[in-house]
């Protein structure tokens, strides 16, 4: 059913879903632990996928979201090879609109195009958090505007120990992973479906996308512990 | 961030190990795609400028795709 835009990897083990550390010996000294790393498009500031696209189908929006124009995409897959995060998938299947309704009500993708996480731009444009943020049962994700230093996401990144994936590559992802014990907060807690909105939500601190240079996302990883 | 506090995340396989597989049968020149992908990462690394990148591949991209609409086109670049 559909394609995985967000893969939940585990950290440190030999394979996905294996722990890092060692088993206890003689009932003592075990260091096993397993933590998780949700990995989707990182919405890089310096996105290699954007630079290689010969027809400008992959582009960076004014608000910083890296998006694909499926009408322009010719399916050459150069962007997939250029993405250091393996965040893109090729759509081999007939177009599907799954689900028909709900928080994941994203645009249908034709067969033969490349697709990826959109930061739920269809929701962000309505002032709503992305679907992964709303649906995460552990409230481990925070989405907001890094251009606003008072946004929740900016405060978290300023206060906590964070890292970006493959930060040595210079891609400068707009997704940060936060370490440490904390209670993640979200700027907007509404669960309304986009089609149910008849007016702008009254968010506590809405993600302001219009006129800003970047919309930013962050994934807090409370299972990461203090290591 | 100290080295101790840096999380040891599972490294995603380097792009060049999977690029051949991704580009096989893509319908366009896989070798061109692989070289461009490598150099696009070099731009992010600061090892190559966008202008050099654009000029390096302009003719090949035009020949392969009939157009070159990459956003790396330098100001005043003559098609
Ligand atoms: S994670 Fe990959 S697909 Fe997303 S913006 Fe960065 S290079 Fe592009
Ligand atoms: S597959 Fe589509 S988005 Fe990716 S580089 Fe080719 S045309 Fe651009």
**C-alpha distance from residue B11 to each of A16, A89, A168, B8, B54 (Å):** 11, 18, 12, 8, 29
Any domain includes B20? no
Give the CATH number of the domain where residue A164 resides: 3.30.70.20
Q: How far apart are CA A183 and CA B7, in angstroms?
A: 19
Q: How far apart are CA A51 and CA A114, in angstroms?
A: 15
Q: Write down the pLDDT at residue B1.
A: 38
Q: What is the phi-psi region of residue A75: left when phi exceeds 0, alpha when psi lies from -120 to 50, beta otherwise? A: left
Any domain includes A64? yes
Question: Quick one: tokens of B63?
Answer: 């020949």
Q: How far apart are CA A61 and CA A66, in angstroms?
A: 6
Average per-residue pLDDT in chain A? 79
Average per-residue pLDDT in chain B? 83
Q: Write down the pLDDT at residue A208.
A: 33
DSSP E strands: which ranges in A117-213?
A: 141-144, 162-163, 175-178
Q: How far apart are CA A201 and CA A128, in angstroms?
A: 7
Any domain includes A140? yes
Name the helix (H) or strand (E) containing A38.
Answer: strand A36-39
Domain total in chain B? 1
CB contact under 8 A, A177 and B12: no
CB contact under 8 A, A50 and B36: no
CB contact under 8 A, A51 and B40: yes
The shortest CB-CB distance from A170 to any of B5, B37, B46 is to: B46
Any domain includes A137? yes
Q: How far apart are CA A90 and CA A35, in angstroms?
A: 28
- Own/partner pairs, A168-171, CB within 8 angstroms, 24+ separation: A169/A84, A169/B41, A169/B44, A169/B45, A170/A46, A170/B44, A170/B45, A170/B46, A171/A42, A171/A44, A171/A45, A171/A46, A171/A47, A171/A48, A171/A84, A171/B41, A171/B44
Any domain includes A225? no
In whole angstroms, what separates CA B79 from the centre of its chain? 20
Q: Write down the pLDDT at residue A127.
A: 86
Any domain includes A223? no
Any domain includes B44? yes
- Backbone φ and ψ of A59, nearest 5°: -150, 160
Please give the residue range of the domain that contains residue B33.
28-79
Tell me if B19 sits within 8 A of B33, measured CB to CB.
Answer: yes
Give the bridge partners for B16, in sequence order.
none
Chain B interface disruption, residue of A54, A114, A173, most B CBs within 10 A:
A54
Q: Write down the pLDDT at residue A1.
A: 47
Confidence at B39, pLDDT banded by 50, 70, 90? very high
Any domain includes B74? yes
Domain total in chain A? 1
Confidence at B8, pLDDT banded by 50, 70, 90? very low
Give the bridge partners for A177, in sequence order.
A163, A219
Q: Write down the pLDDT at residue B59.
A: 97
Res. B78: pLDDT tops 70: yes
Any domain includes B39? yes
Res. B37: pLDDT tops 90: yes
Set of chain A residues whose Cβ sits within 8 Å of the Cβ of B73:
none
pLDDT tens-digit readout, B58-75: 999 999 999 999 999 998
- What is the dihedral angle through the alpha carbons of A130, A134, A137, A141, rounded to the nearest 10 degrees? 50
Q: Write down the pLDDT at residue A196.
A: 56
Q: How far apart are CA A85 and CA A67, in angstroms?
A: 16
Please give the residue range of the domain that contains residue A128.
2-218
Q: Write down the pLDDT at residue A225.
A: 33
Helix B50-65 to helix B30-45 angle, to the nearest 10 degrees?
Answer: 160
Q: Write down the pLDDT at residue A21.
A: 86
- Distance to chain A for B51, nearest Cα, Å: 11
Any domain includes A227? no
pTM, rounded to two decimals: 0.82
Instruction: Single out the residue of A33, A35, A32 nearest to residue A10, CA to CA.
Output: A35
Q: How far apart are CA A9 and CA A2, in angstroms?
A: 19
Any domain includes B66? yes
Chain A interface disruption, residue of B24, B37, B65, B72, most A CBs within 10 A:
B37
Any domain includes A224? no
Instruction: Single out the residue of A65, A6, A16, A79 nearest to residue A39, CA to CA.
Output: A6
Q: How far apart are CA A209 and CA A160, in angstroms?
A: 24
Q: Write down the pLDDT at residue A226.
A: 33
Q: Which residues of chain A have pLDDT under 50?
A: 1, 203-216, 218-227
Any domain includes B23? no
Q: Write down the pLDDT at residue A104.
A: 73
């Amino acid at each position: 059913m559909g394609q995985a835009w967000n893969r939940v990897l585990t950290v440190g083990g030999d394979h996905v879903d294996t722990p890092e550390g060692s088993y206890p010996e003689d009932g003592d000294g075990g260091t096993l632990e397993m933590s998780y790393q949700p990995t989707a498009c990182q919405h890089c500031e310096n996105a290699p996928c954007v630079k290689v696209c010969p027809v400008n189908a992959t582009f960076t929006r004014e608000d910083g979201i890296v998006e694909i124009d499926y009408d322009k995409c010719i399916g050459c897959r150069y962007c997939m090879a250029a993405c250091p995060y393996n965040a893109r998938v090729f759509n081999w299947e007939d177009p599907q609109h799954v689900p028909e309704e709900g928080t994941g009500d994203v645009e249908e993708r034709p067969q033969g195009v490349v697709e990826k996480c959109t930061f739920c731009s269809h929701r962000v444009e309505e002032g709503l958090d992305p679907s992964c943020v709303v649906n995460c049962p552990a409230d481990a994700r925070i989405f907001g505007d890094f251009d606003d230093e008072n946004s929740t996401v900016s405060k978290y990144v300023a206060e906590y120990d964070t890292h970006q994936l493959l930060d040595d590559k210079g891609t400068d992802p707009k997704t940060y992973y936060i370490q440490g014990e904390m209670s993640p907060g979200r700027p907007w807690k509404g669960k309304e479906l986009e089609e149910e909105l008849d007016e702008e939500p009254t968010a506590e601190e809405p993600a302001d996308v219009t006129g800003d240079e970047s919309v930013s996302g962050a994934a807090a990883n409370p299972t990461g512990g203090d290591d | 961030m100290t080295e101790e506090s840096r999380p040891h995340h599972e490294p995603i396989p380097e792009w060049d190990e999977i690029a051949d597989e991704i580009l096989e049968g893509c319908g366009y020149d896989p070798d061109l795609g692989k070289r461009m992908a490598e150099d696009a990462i070099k731009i992010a690394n600061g090892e190559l400028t966008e202008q050099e990148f654009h000029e390096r591949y302009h003719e090949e991209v035009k020949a392969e795709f009939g157009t070159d609409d990459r956003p790396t086109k330098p100001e005043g670049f003559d098609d």
